[in-house]
């Protein structure tokens, strides 16, 4: 019996137009499109150990992947899975096996038959850093597992590198495990509509994400639960049209490299998503007092995005930051990498008590 190991890395991504609300909860089809920036070093590493044992077992190990973590910023931390998180991941590994048996042939690939797999996954960001790991971990596990089920590794790697339709299929597979993970396969700017996601052109300079960690505690309402609750908000009426229109505006602004318009649409979108949380039938909030403090302080910088170019207004003194929030209390401040050091000092001076995580735009999941 032989044992082989496959390792993949996938970064987290931060949405500017959000995936919130599902058209089909069973397969994570979104109610409308979303658009995100792929990160780089804030990522998950997945290792799949494959045994040619004539069985078809799937298992999850709590151990970290056996790799030199220094390559990825130092330390690896293994997220502790809840029972439901474990079941979700086991179901996904079975889904990947089924995909290899049903879809490989269409891409000229052969699936490994009757092999058992064990999955290990760790993040390069500390547990409780307030960074969502479901996008990066599902993307990393999907890529490592789907490659592990390939009988001919070289053919798999050629297809993954060279075939857009194969990559779209892998992204769609990952989506079924956790929706936002389908945006972590490409980069830096990724559009997800319906089944799968792919890169779109962006005219901005290279961007960095500074994450102000207001609170690193475990969130009480999971994003999967939030997706179900938002449709009961009175603001859900018209939301699909508004989000779709904003998506088109933001996509155009991004293509034009217009940071003012990208910043303005992203700001409005973040407030709208959180307003859905605040107004649904069983309302909840992810915000902490510190979130409001950061938002109040940063709002005047973003406002220069709205007034930019209006007659009588002096030109903005600098390009506005792109500010957004996920389903959590932390605030993402996305700025050109050339301005990141200045912004870090400015944020550190104003909020010395907060940790600021820093990452850059990246290219998406890869086999290691």
* Binding region for ligand DP6 (CB under 6 A): 15, 18-20, 28, 34, 132, 134-135, 178-180, 223-224, 227, 326-327
Residue number with the shortest CB distance to ligand DP6?
179
DSSP string covering 197-259: EEE----S--EEEEEEES--SPPSS-HHHHHHHHTTSGGGTTHHHHHHHHHHHHHHHHHHT-H
Residue among 145 and 159 whose Cβ is closer to ligand DP6: 145
Residue among 224 and 355 whose Cβ is closer to ligand DP6: 224
Residue among 7 and 171 whose Cβ is closer to ligand DP6: 171
Residue among 223 and 319 whose Cβ is closer to ligand DP6: 223
Report yes or no: 42 and 136 within 8 Å, Cβ to Cβ.
yes
Instruction: State the minimum distance, in angstroms, from the CB of residue 172 to ligand DP6.
Output: 13
Report the SS3 class of residue 87: helix
Instruction: State the minimum distance, in angstroms, from the CB of residue 183 to ligand DP6.
Output: 7
Instruction: State the minimum distance, in angstroms, from the CB of residue 226 to ligand DP6.
Output: 7
Report yes or no: 331 and 298 within 8 Å, Cβ to Cβ.
yes
Report yes or no: 180 and 15 within 8 Å, Cβ to Cβ.
yes
Instruction: State the minimum distance, in angstroms, from the CB of residue 316 to ligand DP6.
Output: 28
Instruction: State the minimum distance, in angstroms, from the CB of residue 307 to ligand DP6.
Output: 28
Residue among 6 and 197 whose Cβ is closer to ligand DP6: 197
Residues in the chain: 368
Handedness of CA 88, 5, 104, 162 (dihedral sign): positive
Q: Verify cis geometry, omega within 30 degrees of 0, for the bond prior to 56.
A: no
Residue among 118 and 326 whose Cβ is closer to ligand DP6: 326
Q: For residues 6 and 48, what is the distance between their CA atoms, to the nearest angstrom?
A: 5
Instruction: State the minimum distance, in angstroms, from the CB of residue 338 to ligand DP6.
Output: 26
CA distances from 316 to 51, 300, 308, 332 (A): 60, 11, 6, 21
């Amino acid at each position: 019996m032989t044992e082989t190991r496959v390792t993949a890395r996938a970064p987290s991504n931060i949405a500017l137009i959000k995936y919130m609300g599902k058209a089909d909860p069973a397969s994570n089809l979104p109610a409308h499109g979303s658009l995100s920036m792929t990160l780089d070093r804030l990522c998950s590493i997945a290792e799949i150990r494959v045994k040619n044992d004539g069985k078809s077992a799937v298992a999850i190990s709590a151990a970290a992947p056996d790799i030199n973590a220094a390559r990825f910023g130092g330390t690896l931390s293994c997220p502790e899975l809840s029972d439901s998180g474990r079941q979700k991941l086991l179901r996904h590994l079975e889904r990947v096996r089924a995909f290899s048996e049903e879809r490989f042939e269409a891409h000229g690939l052969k699936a490994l038959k009757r092999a058992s797999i064990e999955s290990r996954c760790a993040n390069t960001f500390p547990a409780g850093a307030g960074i969502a790991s479901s996008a990066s971990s599902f993307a990393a596990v999907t890529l490592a597992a789907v490659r592990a089920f390939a009988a001919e590794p070289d053919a798999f790697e050629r297809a993954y590198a060279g075939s857009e339709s194969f990559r779209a299929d892998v992204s769609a597979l990952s989506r079924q495990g956790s929706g936002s993970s389908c945006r972590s396969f490409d980069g830096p700017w990724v559009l997800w509509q319906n089944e799968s996601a792919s890169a779109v052109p962006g005219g901005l300079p290279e961007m960095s994400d500074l994450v102000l960690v207001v609170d690193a505690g475990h969130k009480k309402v999971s994003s999967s639960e939030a997706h179900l609750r938002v449709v009961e908000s009175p603001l859900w009426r018209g939301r699909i049209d508004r989000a779709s229109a904003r998506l088109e505006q933001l996509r155009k602004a991004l293509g034009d490299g217009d940071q003012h318009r990208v910043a303005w649409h992203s700001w409005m979108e973040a407030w709208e998503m959180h307003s859905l949380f605040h107004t649904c039938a069983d309302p909840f909030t992810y915000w902490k007092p510190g979130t409001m403090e950061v938002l109040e302080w940063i709002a005047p910088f973003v406002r220069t995005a709205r007034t930019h170019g209006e007659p009588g207004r002096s030109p903005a003194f600098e390009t506005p930051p792109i500010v957004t929030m996920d389903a959590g209390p932390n605030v993402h401040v996305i700025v050109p990498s050339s301005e990141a050091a200045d912004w870090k000092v400015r944020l550190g001076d104003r909020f010395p008590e907060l940790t600021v995580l820093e990452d850059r735009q990246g290219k998406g999941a890869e086999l290691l």
